[in-house]
């Protein structure tokens, strides 16, 4: 059954809810004052797409909110069945099985998300590349498996987004080389957040928030007429007090964070994490975390990964050229932000603020 938020008091006015998703790059919390309005925040969580997904809806009716949230989850379930890299029955697996053999006709959703991914690949000069799948399968960050150099070198020729052929007329996808594998892990969750928000709006929900792991999309205002407040995680937090590094208020926007702190292992003092450089097949070491803010979750998700690989200097330059906001924590812990974001971002800890010199 759907749960209605209970209001509790705190130092920061009145805190309605705080939750940290267990595999989350970003932390989400709402801060609102007691309101005489009848509208309330309703939320539901489910395990889908190999992560925890939480959907919140503002409504004056619990039944209406529940119906809308269930519709949004149905959209995500559909996408999970289409885009699942590990399911033999997904359209993505069908594309991968036929690499070098034939084009595969796919649904509009599968075609669209791959088309968006190719766009992000082009803009980041291949720093984001969904054909990294042939290399990601060599790594296992849960079992601390690091592949041999020879294995990576053998697979690298299969990584090239330019070898993905899209035919809009037939809605088909073709991989030019046998052995190529598309892995949509760097864009599918953001795309799912977009689709879930669309579903909420179709059901008449005027305000809500969708959190698909570290991909978060918010629209409308909370019952207290304030924007949603999102926390950005400290990539080197040593305790819960240090967990939130900065906060930002948003509405009608998405935010995604890619960081080296979620899936990783350390061997002989070196950190190996899951964000691989498509050019080398090894984890990128130019950043600790990257958070991107834009209208579409598919953009924030893919570009947070691509910018992470590009590094702080090239990343900020690209974001400014595209008119997209972002905050980058460099490998030395220095905070870099796009100009437009500086006045919107609240750096919580003084020690971190001192590093924010850009």
- Domains of the chain with bracketed CATH: 103-185 (1.10.3980.10)
Three-state SS sequence of the chain:
CCEECCCEECCCCEEEEEECCCCCCEEEEEECCCCCCCCEEEEEEEEECCEEEEEEEEECCHHHHHHHHHHHHHHHHHHHHHHCCCCCCCHHHHHHHCCCCCCEECCHHHHHHHHHHHHHHHHCCCCCCHHHHHHHCCCECCCCECCCHHHHHHHHHHCCHHHEEEECCCCEEEECCCCCCCCHHHCHHHHHHHHHHHHHHHCCCCEEEEEECCEEEEECCCCCCCCEEEEEECCCCCCHHHCEEEEEEECCEEEEEEECCCCEEEECCEEEECCECCCCCCECCCEEEEEEEECCHHHHHHHHHHHHHHCHHHHHHHHHHHCCEEEEEECCCCEEECHHHCCCCEECCHHHHHHCCC
pLDDT tens for residues 232-249? 999 988 887 788 999 999
pLDDT tens for residues 99-156? 999 999 999 999 999 999 999 999 999 999 999 999 999 999 989 999 999 999 999 9
Q: Residue range 92-99: average pLDDT?
A: 98
pLDDT at 302 over 90: yes
Q: pLDDT class for 268, splitting at 50, 70, 90?
A: confident
Residue-level pLDDT at 247: 94
Residue-level pLDDT at 240: 75
């Amino acid at each position: 059954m759907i749960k209605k938020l209970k209001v509790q008091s705190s130092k920061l006015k009145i805190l309605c809810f705080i939750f940290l998703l267990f595999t989350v790059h970003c932390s989400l919390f709402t801060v609102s004052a007691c309101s005489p309005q009848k509208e309330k925040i309703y939320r539901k969580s489910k395990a889908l797409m190999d992560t925890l997904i939480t959907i919140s809806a503002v409504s004056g009716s619990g039944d209406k909110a529940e119906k809308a949230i269930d519709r949004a989850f149905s959209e995500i379930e559909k996408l999970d069945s289409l885009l699942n890299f590990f399911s033999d029955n997904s359209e993505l697996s069908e594309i991968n099985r036929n690499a070098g053999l034939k084009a595969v006709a796919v649904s509009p959703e599968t075609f669209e998300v791959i088309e968006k991914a190719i766009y992000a690949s082009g803009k980041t000069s291949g720093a984001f590349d969904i054909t990294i799948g042939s290399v990601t399968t060599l790594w296992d960050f849960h079992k601390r498996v690091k592949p041999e150099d020879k294995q990576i070198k053998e697979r690298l020729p299969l990584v090239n987004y330019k070898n993905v052929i899209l035919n809009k007329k037939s809605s088909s996808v073709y991989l030019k080389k046998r052995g190529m594998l598309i892995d949509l892990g760097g864009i599918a969750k953001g795309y799912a957040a977009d689709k879930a928000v669309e579903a909420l709006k179709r059901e008449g929900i005027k305000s809500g928030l969708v959190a698909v792991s570290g991909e978060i999309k918010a629209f409308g205002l909370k019952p207290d007429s304030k924007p949603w407040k999102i926390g950005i995680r400290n990539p080197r937090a040593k305790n819960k007090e240090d967990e939130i590094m900065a906060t930002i208020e948003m509405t009608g926007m998405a935010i995604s964070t890619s960081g080296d702190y979620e899936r990783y292992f350390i061997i002989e003092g070196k950190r190996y994490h899951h964000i691989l450089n498509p050019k080398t097949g090894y984890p990128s070491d130019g950043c600790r975390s990257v958070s991107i803010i834009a209208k579409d979750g598919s953009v924030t998700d893919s570009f947070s990964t691509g910018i992470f690989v590009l590094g702080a200097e090239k990343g900020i330059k690209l974001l400014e050229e595209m008119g997209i906001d972002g905050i980058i924590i460099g490998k030395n812990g220095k905070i870099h932000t796009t100009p437009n974001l500086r006045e919107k971002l609240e750096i919580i800890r003084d020690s971190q603020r001192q590093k924010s010199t850009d």
